[in-house]
Amino acid sequence: MAPQPSSITALSAPGKVLLTGGYLVLDRAYTGTVFALDARIHVIVQQLRRGHRGQAGSGPDSKAASEAQSAKPEGSTVDEGEVEDTIVVRSPQFVNAVWEYTIQRCENGGGVKVIQKGDTPRNPFVETSLSYALTYISYVADSKDFGSLSVTILADNDYYSETATSKGPGSHSRGGRFVNFGVPLQEAHKTGLGSSAALVTALVSSLVIHRTMQADDLGAGRDKLHNLAQAAHCAAQGKVGSGFDVAAAVYGSCLYKRFSPAILESVGDVGSAGFDERLFAVVEDASAEHPWDTECVDFGMQLPRGMQMVLCDVECGSQTPSMVKKVLAWRNENRKEADILWASLQNNNERLRQELKRLAQHPDANTDGEFTEIQTYLQRTRHHIRTMTRRTGVPIEPSVQTELLDRLSDVDGVIGGVVPGAGGYDAIVLLIRDDQSVITRLNEQFENYESLVEDDFGGKIGNVRLLGVRHGSEGVKNEVLEQYAGWV
């Protein structure tokens, strides 16, 4: 399981939209319909050193390693003569987004921990992903020598609201696909597409592929990569989440039923005795007590012919963890009422998914081209969500989002829309007829859009814009290096 690694490995993983099943998906009794997007997080891993520690190595990859070393990012302290292995992680679309780590092998089977150098603000998703991936690699690979690595992270543009710098002259000067956002990472406003899950999935997958697999093994190793990414993402968040975002990043669009939280509760922390064995058992699904029970159905689920999915950024954003906590507290205190509401949502969501699937498999069934049934199910979903909003006191579909969705639903060619996932003030999702004229009409609506209602939770919507992101059914995949010219 330990082939000689190539000098460069590049993978990407998609963002997601939980079209239906927000809050329900936290409970294994219910499901969520999650669509992968064509906006992706890219991770490029370069081997800076080959062979034993402190040696540049030789052979067919030594020239590539030498070139990568000479092109180390500004501010990096990686040096050819260093004894310690070092990992330099760069996110060059942001200001000063460089993290440098040394690798520490813990005693008593505690795994591999990365220790950040310098005073750059910590990135728990990068740090945890590195520690989990390296621990697993160290446990399964024949060679325990990682060498020094350079990791470059690039995000497709729709993960973040545009800044003045990203819109300005020269923003595409280093590569057409990616923009320079021109701000520190912590100041960038996310659009709510699932960047952390896509990042963790792409990062752990690229490292595992780089050190223990051939790129062609990606399909066969997908389940193990899913398990490792779920473990790392939950650890980085500090809690065991539902995991639908990681599942979409790994497998693509699917009907999702969450895993039992007990699967990950016994893994423990990096550095604790026996961590590497426990993580290995989780990744390999070798735990007799708690085997993985995730259910992902309809991998690569497609939209019906003649339909497209678009997202609209509202430049606001919400705090998902606090919203989830309040909704679950209400449900626990009002179980009978909540169960009725949850069951109504589940029933309608399932009908919506089945109709989407039926039309995708039998495109001629949509004779009038209007998607009337889909429109009805989306309206019912919103009705139940607004009921949940009122009863929980949580802004799942706040008034300003209701106003926006109502107005856009009246646009010719718009089938309907929802505030996806946990709701709030993140980007909204619309299902529309796949016709450029619909895009034109939507953009006309956004030119001078101004909210006219006073929001029930005090939120405000700024500029509304149509994101370039669209539906994309594929999960984690290998990438070609040419598209990263100027960035790597």
Query: Residue 338 is part of a domain; what is its CATH number?
Result: 3.30.70.890
Query: 79 with 228, same domain?
Result: yes
Residue 82's pLDDT band, with cuts at 50, 70 and 90, is very low
Per-residue pLDDT tens over the stretch 306-336: 999 999 988 775 566 689 999 999 999 999 9
Query: 384 with 316, same domain?
Result: yes
Residue 272, classified by CB atoms within 10 Å of its CB into exposed (0-12), middle (13-18) or buried (19+), is: middle
Residue with tokens 């579909």: 397
d(CA 45, CA 242): 28
pLDDT of residue 213: 74
Query: 284 with 327, same domain?
Result: no
Decide if 221 contacts 122 (C-beta within 8 A).
Answer: no
The alpha-carbon radius of gyration of the chain (Å, integer) is 23
pLDDT of residue 298: 84
Residue 77's pLDDT band, with cuts at 50, 70 and 90, is very low
In the predicted structure, residue 54 carries a pLDDT above the cut 50: no
Query: 272 with 364, same domain?
Result: no
Q: What tokens were used for 393?
A: 């006191």
In the predicted structure, residue 184 carries a pLDDT above the cut 60: yes
Decide if 124 contacts 186 (C-beta within 8 A).
Answer: no
Query: 258 with 189, same domain?
Result: yes
Name the CA dihedral angle for 330, 336, 338, 344, rounded to a multiple of 10 degrees.
180
Domain membership of residue 423 as a residue range: 307-466
Note whether residue 313 is domain-resident.
yes
Note whether residue 3 is domain-resident.
no
pLDDT of residue 390: 97
Query: 258 with 321, same domain?
Result: no
Query: 125 with 254, same domain?
Result: yes
Note whether residue 2 is domain-resident.
no
Note whether residue 426 is domain-resident.
yes
Query: 225 with 242, same domain?
Result: yes
Indicate the residue type of 333: E
Q: What is the pTM of this model?
A: 0.88
In the predicted structure, residue 70 carries a pLDDT above the cut 90: no
Q: How far is CA 21 from the centre of its chain?
A: 17
pLDDT of residue 166: 59
Q: How far is CA 434 from the centre of its chain?
A: 25
d(CA 304, CA 309): 10
Query: 275 with 326, same domain?
Result: no
Indicate the residue type of 46: Q
pLDDT of residue 301: 87
In the predicted structure, residue 52 carries a pLDDT above the cut 70: no
> Which whole-number Å values give the CA distances from 474 to 17, 92, 192, 379, in the listed order?
13, 26, 19, 28
Helix (H) or strand (E) holding 177: none
Closest alpha carbon to 115 in 150, 86, 145, 143: 86
pLDDT of residue 318: 59
Residue 61's pLDDT band, with cuts at 50, 70 and 90, is very low
Query: 277 with 254, same domain?
Result: yes
DSSP annotation of 260 = P
pLDDT of residue 165: 53
Helix axes 124-140 and 275-283, enclosed angle (nearest 10): 90
Pairwise pLDDT comparison (53 vs 234), residue with the higher score? 234
Mean pLDDT of the chain: 87
pLDDT of residue 288: 63
Torsion-angle region of 15 (φ positive above 0: left; ψ -120 to 50: alpha; else: beta)? beta
pLDDT of residue 161: 76
Domain count, the chain: 2
Distant-in-sequence, close-in-space partners of 127: CB < 8 Å, separation ≥ 6: 99, 101, 114, 116, 236
pLDDT of residue 460: 85
Residue 187, classified by CB atoms within 10 Å of its CB into exposed (0-12), middle (13-18) or buried (19+), is: exposed
pLDDT of residue 212: 87
Per-residue pLDDT tens over the stretch 367-378: 777 899 999 999
Note whether residue 420 is domain-resident.
yes
In the predicted structure, residue 58 carries a pLDDT above the cut 80: no
Q: How far is CA 351 from the centre of its chain?
A: 26
Residue 66's pLDDT band, with cuts at 50, 70 and 90, is very low
Query: 253 with 362, same domain?
Result: no
Q: What tokens were used for 229?
A: 């990414």
Note whether residue 19 is domain-resident.
yes
Per-residue pLDDT tens over the stretch 372-423: 999 999 999 999 999 999 999 999 999 999 999 999 999 999 999 999 999 9
> Which whole-number Å values give the CA distances from 129 to 101, 104, 124, 234, 286, in the listed order?
12, 15, 8, 10, 21
Residue 64's pLDDT band, with cuts at 50, 70 and 90, is very low
pLDDT of residue 83: 52
Lowest-pLDDT range of 93-97, 213-217, 269-273, 465-469: 213-217
Closest alpha carbon to 465 in 316, 314, 329, 256: 314
**What is the residue-wise DSSP string for 406-446?**
HHHHTSTTEEEEE--TT-SSS-EEEEEES-HHHHHHHHHHH
Helix (H) or strand (E) holding 324: helix 320-333
Residue 426's pLDDT band, with cuts at 50, 70 and 90, is confident
Note whether residue 61 is domain-resident.
yes
Note whether residue 1 is domain-resident.
no
Closest alpha carbon to 43 in 206, 162, 193: 206
Per-residue pLDDT tens over the stretch 291-302: 999 999 887 889
E strands, 322-460, are 414-418, 428-433
Pairwise pLDDT comparison (473 vs 169), residue with the higher score? 473
Pairwise pLDDT comparison (170 vs 178), residue with the higher score? 178
pLDDT of residue 416: 97
Distant-in-sequence, close-in-space partners of 287: CB < 8 Å, separation ≥ 6: 263, 281
Lowest-pLDDT range of 66-70, 236-240, 351-355, 464-468: 66-70
Pairwise pLDDT comparison (473 vs 345), residue with the higher score? 345
d(CA 107, CA 99): 25
Query: 145 with 288, same domain?
Result: yes
